[in-house]
Amino acid sequence: MILKNISLLYGNDLKFIESTNIKITDQKFQKFNQKINSSKEKTFDCNELLLIPGLINSHTHIGDSIGKDISLNSAVDARIHPVSGIKQKILTETPKKDLVRFMRKSAISMLKKGITTFVDFREGGIVGIQLLRQALKGLPIRVVILGRLDYYQTTNEIKKNTSMPKFYQTELELLLRNCDGVGISGANENSNSNLHTYSKIKKLRAIHSAETLESYSLSKKNSGKTEPNRALLAKPTFLVHMTFASKSDLRQVSKKTRGIVICPRANAALAEGIPDIELMEKMKCNLAIGTDNIMINSPDLFREMDYLWKVSMGMHKKRINPKKILKMTTVNAGKMLSQKIGSIREGFLADCIFLKKQSLDLDPINNPYATVVHRVTENSIKAVMIGGKFVYGKI
């Protein structure tokens, strides 16, 4: 396939190229050159289109898609605590066919919004993983499934440093044969011994940390250590949230992990605060973005970028380059997952979004980064491609 006369954001720096031709073969971007031409290849004239990398939603919980906006006025733990929250009640009591149906709707919604890969913290053990795979059957969207044991320790067990029972260790081994890694609820539900057990996993390891001031304080009260400090015992590939992390926490995380996934709209919806991206960047943290629970937030990264960009400038009273925000949903996320996604460059998977340059909301495009971050909506998308195939729309 050849895309002719197309504008694009190229490479890891998202360099804007006004017009070029692109050759796609074997699911990947192969060549970028104005002179590419071939009568044997299927060719599309893309003169009125801007190509950007497919978006990567680095943290979701789509299992609770059926519970949209339930318990809006409840406190955080009452809504999403892994043991006692209303979310757990929904996941346990909802018929499995309904869970599957609504997860599928959320996946389709993400595709239409230009999300080509999402990373899901999948509750419910092996059954939860199977339900998600059932929901995604026949859908081309890429998924990274981080499974979870329904095993949470009490404060007493944590203080005694109780080890994971053999039964759960065996279940963990079976779980990992069916998914891409583990998504741990948090350090406050696990002893040091438990966290060390997770650290030995050879696949992806991710953990929630410092999402709320309450959870951060609880860790210090029960263990004398900060929540991120204890979370690092699991040797995570990346951490999620870090909304209340200190400068020292962030410095350690920067050195010992591939990054942090922030979820600004979800944090705001829970009235818990906004992640300090300026401090995180000063500590050289690699930042990605997730939309978190469908129960409290829509899976829309364009809305997420727009919100984060503006609220961060409002908090710090200084300008932030929108390119930095766009990298969090593309290039940075690809690096964090160590996959050849999130960037339009030679050898990378051809996952991308075709935007209508003459769309009512976009035309004229004077700053492509600002345009993408705070003006693009689903209506601006002409088509979405995954692995060199059109999966939504057409050109």
CATH (domain of 379) = 2.30.40.10
Q: For residues 310, 315, 317 and 322, what is the CA-based torsion angle, rounded to 10 degrees?
A: -30
Q: Does residue 21 sit in the same domain as residue 34?
A: yes
pLDDT of 204:
98
Q: Does residue 333 sit in the same domain as residue 365?
A: no
Helices (H), 33-114: 76-80, 86-93, 96-112
| Domain count along the chain | 2
CB 206 within 8 A of CB 239: yes
Domain boundary among 337, 358, 373: 337
Question: What CATH number is given to the structural domain containing 242?
Answer: 3.20.20.140
Residues in the chain: 395
Whole-angstrom CA distances from 347 to 29, 230, 323 are 6, 38, 23
Question: Quick one: average pLDDT of 167-178?
Answer: 97
Q: How many Å apart are CA 191 and CA 238, to the nearest integer?
A: 19
pLDDT of 93:
83
Q: Does residue 37 sit in the same domain as residue 71?
A: no
pLDDT of 83:
64
Note if the bond before 299 is cis, omega within 30 degrees.
Answer: no
Does the pLDDT of residue 144 top 90, yes or no? yes
Q: Does residue 322 sit in the same domain as residue 348?
A: no
Q: How many Å apart are CA 132 and CA 174, to the nearest integer?
A: 17
pLDDT of 41:
87
pLDDT of 90:
79
Q: Does residue 32 sit in the same domain as residue 63?
A: no
CB 135 within 8 A of CB 103: yes
- Its domain, for residue 10, covers 2-53+344-393
What angle do the packed helices 125-135 and 96-112 form, to 10 degrees? Answer: 50
Helix (H) or strand (E) holding 169: helix 166-176
Does the pLDDT of residue 382 top 80, yes or no? yes
Q: Does residue 202 sit in the same domain as residue 186?
A: yes
pTM: 0.96
Q: Does residue 17 sit in the same domain as residue 59?
A: no
pLDDT of 107:
98
* Beta-sheet pairing, 381-386 with 389-393: antiparallel
Q: Does residue 72 sit in the same domain as residue 207?
A: yes
Picking from 34-43, 72-81, 103-112, 341-350, which range would have the lowest pLDDT averaged per residue?
A: 72-81
**CB-side neighbour CA atoms (13 Å) of 136:** 21
Tokens of 307: 């919100």
Question: Quick one: average pLDDT of 140-167?
Answer: 95
pLDDT of 279:
97
pLDDT of 81:
65
φ/ψ of 55, rounded to 5, equals -80, 145
Q: Does residue 242 sit in the same domain as residue 120?
A: yes
How much is the CA Rg of the chain, to the nearest whole Å?
21
CB 201 within 8 A of CB 148: no
pLDDT of 82:
72
CB 260 within 8 A of CB 231: no
**CB-side neighbour CA atoms (13 Å) of 361:** 13
Q: Does residue 196 sit in the same domain as residue 221?
A: yes
Does the pLDDT of residue 61 top 80, yes or no? yes
- Please report the beta strands in the chain, taking only residues with DSSP state E, as ranges in sequence order: 2-10, 15-25, 28-32, 43-45, 49-53, 55-61, 115-122, 142-147, 181-184, 204-209, 238-241, 259-262, 287-289, 292-293, 352-356, 381-386, 389-393
**Structure confidence at residue 11 as a pLDDT band (50, 70, 90):** very high
Domain boundary among 322, 337, 352: 337
- What is the per-residue DSSP string for 180-191? SEEEE--GGGS-
* Three-class secondary structure of residue 68 per DSSP: coil
pLDDT of 267:
95
Question: Quick one: average pLDDT of 15-33?
Answer: 96
- Please report the beta strands in 68-217, taking only residues with DSSP state E, as ranges in sequence order: 115-122, 142-147, 181-184, 204-209
Higher pLDDT residue, 276 or 89? 276
Q: Does residue 319 sit in the same domain as residue 348?
A: no
Percent of the chain with pLDDT over 90: 89
Q: How many Å apart are CA 328 and CA 42, to the nearest integer?
A: 33
pLDDT of 125:
95
Question: Quick one: average pLDDT of 119-145?
Answer: 97
pLDDT of 79:
61
Which DSSP state fits 379? G
> What are 293-341's pLDDT values in tens digits?
999 999 999 999 999 999 999 999 999 999 999 999 999 999 999 999 9
Does the pLDDT of residue 80 top 80, yes or no? no
What mean pLDDT is reported for the chain? 95
Q: Does residue 155 sit in the same domain as residue 62?
A: yes
**Structure confidence at residue 70 as a pLDDT band (50, 70, 90):** confident
Picking from 17-21, 27-31, 44-48, 74-78, which range would have the lowest pLDDT averaged per residue?
A: 74-78
> What are 175-221's pLDDT values in tens digits?
999 999 999 999 999 999 999 999 999 999 999 999 999 999 999 99
Reference 24, options 393, 350, 352; nearest CA is: 350
